[in-house]
Amino acid sequence: MIETMTAQRQKTKSIDNSMSVIVMLYNNPAFGVLIPSYTFDIYGKKMSDWVVDATKGYRTKCVVVGSDKDFLDDIKAHLIDTKYTALLFADTPLLSSDAIAELLDYITYKNLNIIRLARGYIARTDFLKMSEKIYDMQIVPLHSEEFFVAKDFESLGYIRHIIDDKIKKYHMAQGVNFLQPNTAYIEGECEIDSGVTIGPNVKLCGKTRVLHATHIENSTVIDSVIGSKCDIKNSYISVSNVGDNVVVQPFCAIENSTVESNKTLSYGSIVR
C-alpha cells in the first residue's frame, strides 16, 4: 500500500533505534538520460522521496552508489551504531512503511545476520562493517510486489499508474468525491478535506490544500490553500490563499495573492 504525504502526517511514530536505513541512490543507465533516474518526478515527488517516506520512524540517510550490485564501499562510511541497517534502493517507490516493519520483525525473529529482499537487504550493522562482499542468497518472499523496480520507462509508467490509483483511492476513502477520477491529477503532498468535489480535468500540485465542501473543475491549483465552500471553474491558481465561500468564475488567474472570503471573481479576472 502506498501512503501519500497526507497519510504519513496523520501517523505518529517514534524513532525506532533498533534499525537505521540507507536509501541507495543508483542512477540506472538503462534510462539513457542526463538527469539521475532516482530524481524522476512521480506525482510531485522525486522517485527517491517515495522510498524515504516509507522509512518514517527510522534514521534514514540517502547515499549515492555507483553500482546496484557492488555498493559496500559506498555505504560503509555511512553506517551508524544501530543493531540493524536496511539497505534500500531508491528505484522502488511502491515500498511501504508496513513492509519495512514486517521485514525488520522477520530478521529479528530469525536472528539472522542478513536477509536479501526482493530489492535490497537488511543486515546486522556489525556484519556489514566486517564484510568485504555481500554474497548471493535466497530472497525473502515478503512484500515482493512492493519492491517492483523502476528499471526502464515502461516499468516507471506502471509505477506511476499504481501511485496515481493509490492516491485517488486514499482521498476517496477520506470522503473526497471524484466526478471523473481518470481525468484528475493529484500530487502526493496535496491535502483534500472530506466533502470536497473534484470535477473533470482538475490538477492539484505541490503542497496544495483544499478545505471542506469546495467544488473544483477544469482548473489547476499549485501550492495554494483553497477555503471551504468555494466554487472554482476553468481557472488557474498558484501560490495563493483563497478564503471561504469564494466563487471563481471561468478563465480567472490568481497568482501570489490572497482572495478574501465571500468574494466573487468575475469571468476572466486576473489577481496578482
- 187, three cell numbers: 500530487
Q: Which of residues 91, 125, 155 is at a domain's end?
A: 155
Domain match, 200 and 132 both? no
Rounded to whole angstroms, the Cα distance separating 250 from 237 reads 12
**Ramachandran sector of residue 154 (left: φ over 0; alpha: ψ -120 to 50; beta: rest):** alpha
Q: Is 164 among the domain residues?
A: no
Instruction: Give the model's pLDDT for residue 13.
Output: 57
Q: Which of residues 155, 188, 218 is at a domain's end?
A: 155
Q: Is 168 among the domain residues?
A: no
CA atoms within 13 A on the CB side of 25: 17
**Domain interval for residue 98:** 5-155
Q: Is 62 among the domain residues?
A: yes
- 70, three cell numbers: 557492488
- The model's confidence at residue 1, banded by pLDDT at 50, 70 and 90, is very low
For the chain, the residue count is 272
Q: Is 166 among the domain residues?
A: no
Domain match, 59 and 9 both? yes
Cα angle for residues 119, 167, 5 (degrees, 5° grid)? 75
Domain match, 23 and 122 both? yes
Q: Pick the closest to residue 143 from 125, 157, 122 (CA basis).
A: 122
| pLDDT tens-place string over residues 73-88 | 999 999 999 999 999 9
Domain match, 145 and 230 both? no
Domain match, 204 and 235 both? yes
| pLDDT tens-place string over residues 188-234 | 999 999 999 999 999 999 999 999 999 999 999 999 999 999 999 99
Domain match, 249 and 150 both? no
Domain match, 16 and 113 both? yes
Query: The CATH number of the domain where 100 resides is what?
Result: 3.90.550.10
Instruction: Give me the number of domains the chain comprises.
Output: 2
| pLDDT tens-place string over residues 127-158 | 999 999 998 899 999 999 999 999 999 999 99
- 169, three cell numbers: 483511492
| pLDDT tens-place string over residues 14-26 | 677 899 999 999 9
Identify the bridge partners of residue 191 per DSSP, sorted by sequence position. 209
Model-level pTM?
A: 0.88
Answer yes or no: is pLDDT of 174 > 70: yes
Query: The CATH number of the domain where 215 resides is what?
Result: 2.160.10.10
